[in-house]
């Protein structure tokens, strides 16, 4: 009787293990805009995430940590190639590595509790090991997903679009900002207005 109960207990504990499941970014409804410098046309969209969006796309509510995720979409409607760089946004961005570290699953308390409980009921040692491994796996998936979704330097050929997330500290958040794009074959810059909807 003890053996089946032990395995049932381990199975129940394993169900509560750390995990990471987030959805891919979805398309935003874009708006055509004109560059503030030359009037060149681009199509843009910006969305500030609420707690439900955070849970869906990041599997963590980073709003509670003091960060505002903003999904940005930009499409090059010109006949020239431009470089988009998140460093050229007119709002200060938060470091995604710092945010990911704060969002990591911390199961040290549960692992310690299971390990100590293992002195009374040996299957809890198994639960401690499983919990620790699942936590490491969830954190690695989180790091990989955040890195894949965060805005990076990209070249936008004519007709090409880009969809990514930037993170801003709550204190630095603005619903209107600009993206400065550099034409690839010259030092010409286009300043594109971005408005969070």
Q: Is the predicted pLDDT of residue 115 greater than 90, yes or no?
A: no
Q: What angle do CA 166, 47, 78 make, to 5 degrees?
A: 80
The mean pLDDT value of the chain amounts to 84
| Section 57-86 average pLDDT | 96
Query: DSSP class of residue 78?
Result: S
Residue 46, sorted as left (phi over 0), alpha (psi -120 to 50) or beta, turns out to be beta
**What pLDDT is stored for residue 12 in this prediction?**
44
Angle at the Cα of 28 from the Cα atoms of 178 and 98, rounded to 5 degrees: 65
Strands 161-169 and 67-76: antiparallel
Residue 126's pLDDT is what?
A: 55
Mean pLDDT value across residues 45-58 = 96
Residues 6+ positions from 63 with CB-CB distance below 8 Å:
49, 50, 51, 54, 69, 170
Under 8 Å between Cβ of 21 and 59: yes
Q: Residue 126 CB: number of other CB atoms within 10 A?
A: 17
Angle at 56 between CA 76 and CA 141, to 5 degrees: 90
Interval 3-20 mean pLDDT: 53
pLDDT reading at 136 higher than 70: yes
| C-alpha distances out from residue 111 to 16, 20, 107, 163, Å | 12, 18, 6, 38
Most confident among 16-20, 44-48, 103-107 (mean pLDDT)? 44-48
The tens digit of pLDDT for each residue in 159-170 reads 999 999 999 999
Round to whole Å and give the CA distance between 154 and 122.
53
Q: pLDDT tens digits for 87-105?
A: 999 999 999 999 998 987 6
What are the residue ranges spanned by the domains of the chain? 2-195
| Pair 163, 148: CB distance under 8 Å | no
């Amino acid at each position: 009787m003890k053996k089946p109960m032990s395995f049932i207990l381990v199975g129940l504990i394993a169900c509560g293990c750390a995990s990471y499941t987030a959805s891919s970014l979805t398309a935003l409804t874009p708006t055509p805009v004109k560059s503030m410098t030359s009037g060149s046309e681009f199509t843009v969209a910006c969305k500030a995430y609420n707690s439900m969006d955070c849970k869906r796309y990041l599997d963590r509510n980073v709003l509670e940590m003091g960060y505002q995720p903003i999904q940005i979409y930009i499409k090059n409607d010109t006949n020239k190639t431009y470089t988009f760089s998140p460093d050229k946004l007119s709002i200060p961005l938060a470091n995604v590595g710092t945010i990911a570290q704060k969002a990591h699953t911390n199961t040290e308390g549960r692992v310690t509790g299971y390990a100590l409980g293992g002195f009374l009921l040996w299957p809890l040692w198994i639960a401690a090991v499983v919990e620790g491994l699942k936590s490491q796996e969830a954190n690695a998936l989180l790091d990989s997903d955040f890195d894949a979704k965060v805005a990076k330097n990209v070249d936008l050929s004519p007709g090409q679009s880009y969809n990514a997330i930037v993170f801003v500290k709550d204190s630095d958040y603005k619903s209107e900002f600009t993206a400065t794009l550099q034409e690839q074959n010259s030092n010409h810059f286009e300043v594109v207005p971005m408005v969070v909807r």
